[in-house]
Amino acid sequence: MIRHWFTRADAPLTSSFVKRFDPKHFTVDFPRGAIASAVLGPTANSLDVHVEFLRKSDLIGLIYASSDEHWHPIERREHRRDYNNCQLRFRWQATGLPGLDEVNGATLTIEGRNSAGHAKTWYVRLWNYATGAPNDALISLDFNQLSGGYDLSSQADPVHPGDIDRMFFSLVPPTYQAEDSSALTDVGVATLRLSEIDCSGFGSVLKTTDAMVPEHQLRICTAYDDLYNLVPERVVETIERLGYRKLLNHYVGMSHHQGLLTDGTIDPARPINSAAATWHSAFLRAARAADLDVIFSLSFEIIASACPALWQQRASDGSPARTGYEPPSALISPANDEAVGYLAETAAEFARLADAAGTCPRIQIGEPWWWVTADHRPCLYDASARTAFGGDPILITDIRGPKTASEIELLDRAGEILAEATETITEAVKAVRADIYSDHPGGGPTGMVPRQSASALGVSGVRCSPARGLRMADRRLAADGAHCHHLHCGSTELSAVAAALSRRFRRGRDGRLGLVEDRRRRARGGRCENG
């Protein structure tokens, strides 16, 4: 989450109180490939969880931790591990999960220490504390009287409530086998609703920071790969508390929003999985309530383990383009029609989510580029690119230095292909609201702001990064010939923001390709390593 804010280190912070197990204070996590999201439910004190399983061994955790470590100091609750005199009650309603009465029915795993101070984990079978049906039950947990174990008559393992670090509900597919990581026959889709959440008793109330930063002129960027595990409504609340207003630029990520097949690769028919769609819809609704306009930013990269081989850019020796992240992402070839079509449908689907949430759809085509490796080799030689370049393109083994006429011709053609790819994505977003789109030659409030043709713009320059090589791209908005595309429909403005729709390579007087230093630091951290 956001680590910095604008205040003195010694500034006094206003405090308030929050109930334990407030729905906004849960998180989720899971093994890579599986996916889950948690959003606020339709009624007060409720939480909805959406899940997709790929393997028999997938286990997803719905987590409540004693430490509020993911959140900013401006609204972080106190760290208290003592759950004595605390009672938790809630209604459990599930689909696509084992019944609570089954062997693999959900447990509440509690991690902490016993009364002697030694680390210990308890496994509390929820069915032992439930009344009702296996998939629709009321559950009551008194931490002073709580025990782990499957059969309490013979296996009761009393929980020590005075020193608990975290607890999580274990969500698994109906065919769960802990030691069997083989793929399911079909993607397993499940939902869980916790409602009527009520925490009572002397230990049920925690102190929390309740500060607000005055509104300021800076704007904020977020990234789904960093935030997928958090409740989106609390994310927006924190943004607002930190004084950010108006525009919010949100990178949809390269590793968590895609729909996958059971082998872990991209499902072209599902550009957004159900958990990510639910998360982003809730994010949009919360942003709208906070009067924030969301720009969705989509990049030309997908986590390498999920990206189809034919979609990937490649160097002349056939090696795939890779970013320096761990795990790395693959770079999408602008020459591959299927891959570009997938990106276009992804952008259009995010635009549909925005439209359905009653917000203005704004899509940024971020980082459209041809990759250049750390040893200066341009990745222009995947099968689709070779075909687009005539079948046997001239080999460029070093992007630096003067270029021959044939090399310049190849690079200019690469620019045109990239421009065509961004145009395809732009047109897909425009088609989401074709009923109110009209290209008006003069622009203005009733039509599209005019832009240069794609072929006249070409590639958006070459960017240099010592760690990751050169990237032929830029991300300017309405600068250097790139335009924001605005549409007005009554009181609603519809925008398809094509960031860095491409300029031609710039050549200096000596014929060299212009190099633009990449000083931008991506708003994406290491969260995907654990997801």
The per-residue pLDDT for 16 is 82
Q: How many C-beta neighbours within 10 Å does residue 122 have?
A: 21
CATH architecture group of domain 15-209 = Sandwich (2.60)
Fold of 220-530: TIM Barrel (3.20.20)
Q: Are 512 and 399 in contact (CB under 8 A)?
A: no
The per-residue pLDDT for 3 is 57
Quick one: which of 280, 252, 230, 219 has its CA closest to 75? Answer: 230
The per-residue pLDDT for 338 is 98
Return d(Cα 129, Cα 142) in angstroms, integer.
9
The per-residue pLDDT for 436 is 54
Q: Are 273 and 307 in contact (CB under 8 A)?
A: no
Contact residues for 315 (Cβ-Cβ < 8 A; gap 6+): 321, 373, 377, 378, 379, 381
Nearest 5°: phi and psi at 331?
-100, 130
Helix 337-356 to helix 274-289 angle (10° resolution) is 40
**CATH 2.60.120 region(s) of the chain?**
15-209
Residue 39 CA, distance from chain mean position: 14
The per-residue pLDDT for 411 is 97
**CATH 3.20.20 region(s) of the chain?**
220-530
- Blockwise average pLDDT, block size 10, the chain, 531 residues: 60 82 96 96 97 98 92 82 96 98 97 96 98 98 96 95 97 96 97 98 87 87 95 95 92 96 97 98 97 95 97 97 93 98 97 94 91 96 98 95 96 97 95 65 29 26 30 29 25 28 27 24 29 31
Residue in this structure with the two tokens 């009733």, named with its chain if needed = 446
Q: Which two tokens stand for residue 362?
A: 């704004």
DSSP 342-411: HHHHHHHHHHHHHHHTTS---EEEE----EE-TTS-B---SHHHHHHTTSSPPP-S-SSS---HHHHHHH
Prediction pTM value: 0.82
The per-residue pLDDT for 370 is 96
DSSP 214-253: PP-S--EEEEHHHHTTB-HHHHHHHHHHTT--EEEEEE--
Q: Are 347 and 368 in contact (CB under 8 A)?
A: no
Quick one: which of 101, 238, 93, 81 has its CA closest to 160? Answer: 81
Helix 337-356 to helix 405-431 angle (10° resolution) is 30
Measured in residues, the chain has a length of 531
